[in-house]
Amino acid sequence: MHDFVVVGCGPAGARFARSAAERGHDVLVLEQGEVGEPLACSGHVSLDIWDYVPDGAREELFQNAIRGARFHLGGADSTAHEFYREGPISNAIDRVGLDRTLAEAAAEAGADVRDHHTVTAVDERQGGVTVTARGPDGTERHEARMVVGADGPRSRVRDECGLPEPDEFLHGVLGFDEAPDAQDFVDVHLTVPRFFAWRIPRGDAGVEYGLAVSPGEDERARFEALCEDYGVTLDRRCSGLIPVGPPKRVTGRRSLLVGDAAAQTKPFTGGGILYGMRAADHAAREVDPDAPGTLGDYERSWRDELRTEQRLGHLVRAGYSVPEPLQRAGLRAFSGEIGVHMDEPSTLFSREQLRALLGR
């Protein structure tokens, strides 16, 4: 019997598998397709990402250094308000390569990572779980003390174990232009209802365009308008759901959720790579597969770390929808050099940010 069966090998699942295996647990990871495919997530991340990958991986994954953002209340040619630092704030990275690097690190730590395994059922019982999967050689059944749902916004584990859904789902669209662009500013357009659109230069890898909208909005039409505004035609694109707002419970009798399955994301950008991996570390540290009561320790610990950032993130997102005169006034007031961390809205109130404001 395995200690954990992890369903999904994105950043959160791979990070949990690696951390749990390093603690001596027997970990099996089942990924539906090939690790990293299909791409459905932006590759724009904070510099903290390098704390989670093995030494030497940065050279292969790094694409471009970003030190600022231009915020627009109109199209590509509209007046922009710039926010920046002297050095890099974030990086554009190889997003598919990140998943594969993290999966390899989990395997090297001792986890059994298997791709092309589609989980079809999870039977959660008093003494353990049975995970049924369809693999290359037919149907398989795996016994474990606990199951970890790291299988994205439409989590099979969440549904099978009767856990509640996130508060909200957004629809995201990404497209890629292969023309190299090494600019060190991203463009953000506050023109999408209740969210935004973006343009991210990725060095020799090209440019990423994207946006996210609430259900009921026509994301395809809005994305075509964004591309037309920038004068690009994109053949390579993808889409996916973005969960926002964690449910009140992400654990069951013998189950737990991490990453997008638990909506451990930033409400103001939809990104969840760092939040999901931080939560995965909490899970690996707190949960004893032989003691279901420790699932409550995981619930408390990850929420204690992320609660404030997620609450403040909701306030930041609310600013996307205030009347345009208020948006303009706010952007003018805060534009210039900044001292904030892109994953931590609490740094809006940090000493570094205060010094940046006073130094203008």
**Closest listed residue to residue 279, CA positions, set 261, 253, 252, 267:** 261
What confidence tens digit (pLDDT) does each residue in 187-216 have? 999 999 889 999 999 999 999 999 999 888
- The C-alpha atoms of residue 223 and residue 304 are separated, in whole angstroms, by 36
Helices (runs of H) and strands (runs of E) counted in the chain: 9, 18
**Are 200 and 208 a contacting pair, CB within 8 Å?**
yes
What is the full per-residue pLDDT of the chain (360 aa) written as tens digits?
A: 999 999 999 999 999 999 999 999 999 999 999 998 877 788 999 999 999 999 999 999 999 999 999 999 999 999 999 999 999 999 999 999 999 999 999 999 999 999 999 999 999 998 999 999 999 999 999 999 999 999 999 999 999 999 999 999 999 999 999 999 999 999 999 999 889 999 999 999 999 999 999 888 888 999 999 999 999 999 888 889 999 999 999 999 999 999 999 999 999 999 999 999 999 999 999 999 999 999 999 999 999 999 999 999 999 999 999 999 999 998 988 889 888 898 998 887 777 766 665 555
Distance between CA atoms of residues 69 and 348, nearest Å: 16
pTM: 0.95
Q: 99-114 burial by CB neighbour count: b if 16+ within 10 A, else e?
A: bbbbbbbbbebbbbbb
| CB-based contact 190:196 (threshold 8 Å) | yes
The helix (run of H) or strand (run of E) holding residue 156 is helix 156-160
Q: Are 157 and 248 in contact (CB under 8 A)?
A: no
> Which pair of tokens denotes residue 154?
């439409």
CATH architecture of 2-319: 3-Layer(bba) Sandwich (3.50)
Going from N- to C-terminal start, the domains of the chain cover 2-319
